[in-house]
Every structure is written in C-alpha cells, then in structure tokens.
C-alpha cells in the first residue's frame, strides 16, 4: 500500500449528503474500504506511463507507471445502461469545475436535474468534486469525466450517470499525475 500525506485524511471524512436542503445540512461519517485506497499493483500493459485504464466491472482505475506496474484507485461508475467504454484522451483538466447536467440527465430525471440546468459553480457542494479530467475522442468532448465526488460512499458502486468518480483526495492526486493528452482506455 502507498503511504501519502492525504492517506490518513482519506480514511475518514465528514461529507455533506446531497439532496434536499435539510439533507444537505446533515453530516455523514464515512470510511473508505482499504481495497479502494490507492496502491501500487502489478499491471502488464503496452500503454505508456501516464496512461489511464478504467475497469468499470471491478471498480478500479489504473494509472500506468511502467509496463509492469500501475497505481490502482477505487472508483464509482455509471449505473446499468449509462456506462461508456472505448478509448479517449484527456482533452482538458479543471480544478473545482463548474457542473452542468447533460440534456440526457435532465430528460431522464427532470425533477432531480432541471433546477440545475444553468449549472452549479465549482466548490465543496459541486457534484464534480475537487477536480475533473474531461474525456475527448476525435477532438470532441464525450461528456464523460473522471472526477471527484461529494458522495465518497459511492466508491465501489455503480451509481453515477456514466462518469468515473474518485474521492476528492484521490482525484486531486490523479489530476497532478496525469497530463492533457494522456490516453484513457475504458474497458
């Protein structure tokens, strides 16, 4: 297991529960399962160091470190029918990104998302969390992201609208280690 300055902080976090105004005021204590903490693991690949491989089935993201190792992060993934797969690149990166639900999200669940159609400014209550890596294919935004979350208890589960979630501590580290133009393969 890798020891990092944020590791202890990542084990227990107090987070706001999104939803109604009264629910947002509540606090929930959370401890991330140790298997979802970042750790160096053996990983065979032909991809260059700095590439990212996402394994939604097993709920892990691998940051390739060499042809035989990677740093593995636990992730939350898209619900059934909302998954995305294929090859992309990191087209851009943002700190405390602004979030706007997609038209499909609003169409699927208007009561939940229509009120956010104009977007939510970046910050601690923003669903994209502390950082976002934007996936592009063929020079165009796919509208899929690797991003932080204000719901860290969703790591290891299939609950999102298709994006790949990491805890805020973990996405901050990944953001620093991955450059624009890096290859991303979602299995």
Among 86, 122, 85, 116, smallest CA distance to 101 is for 116
Computed on alpha carbons and rounded to an integer, the radius of gyration of the chain in Å comes to: 16
* Dihedral angle of Cα 6, 168, 93, 51, to the nearest 10 degrees: 70
CA distance 121 to 15: 18
> Would you name the residues annotated as active-site residues?
147, 163
Query: How far, rounded to the nearest angstrom, does the alpha carbon of residue 177 sit from its chain's CA centroid?
Result: 14
Q: Could you write out the DSSP letters of every residue in 72-83? A: EEE-BEEPTT--
Among 121, 145, 124, 142, smallest CA distance to 133 is for 145
Sign of the alpha-carbon torsion through 145, 87, 77, 179: negative
CA distance 151 to 42: 29
């Amino acid at each position: 297991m890798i020891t990092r300055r944020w590791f202890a902080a990542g084990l227990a976090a107090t987070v706001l529960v999104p939803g109604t105004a009264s629910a947002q005021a509540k606090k929930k204590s959370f401890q991330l399962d140790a298997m979802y903490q970042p750790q160096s693991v053996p990983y065979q690949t032909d991809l260059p160091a700095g590439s990212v491989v996402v394994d939604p089935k097993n709920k892990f993201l691998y940051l390739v470190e060499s042809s035989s190792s990677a740093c593995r992060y636990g992730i939350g993934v898209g619900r059934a029918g909302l998954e995305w797969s294929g090859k992309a690149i990191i087209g851009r990166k943002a700190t405390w990104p602004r979030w706007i639900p997609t038209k499909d999200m609003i169409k699927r669940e208007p009561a939940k998302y229509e009120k956010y159609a104009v977007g939510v400014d970046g910050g601690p209550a923003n669903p994209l969390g502390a950082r976002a890596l934007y996936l592009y294919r063929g020079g165009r935004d796919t509208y899929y992201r690797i991003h932080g979350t204000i719901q860290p208890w969703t790591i290891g589960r299939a609950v999102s609208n298709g994006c790949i979630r990491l805890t805020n501590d973990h996405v901050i580290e990944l953001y620093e280690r991955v450059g624009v133009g890096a290859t991303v393969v979602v299995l």
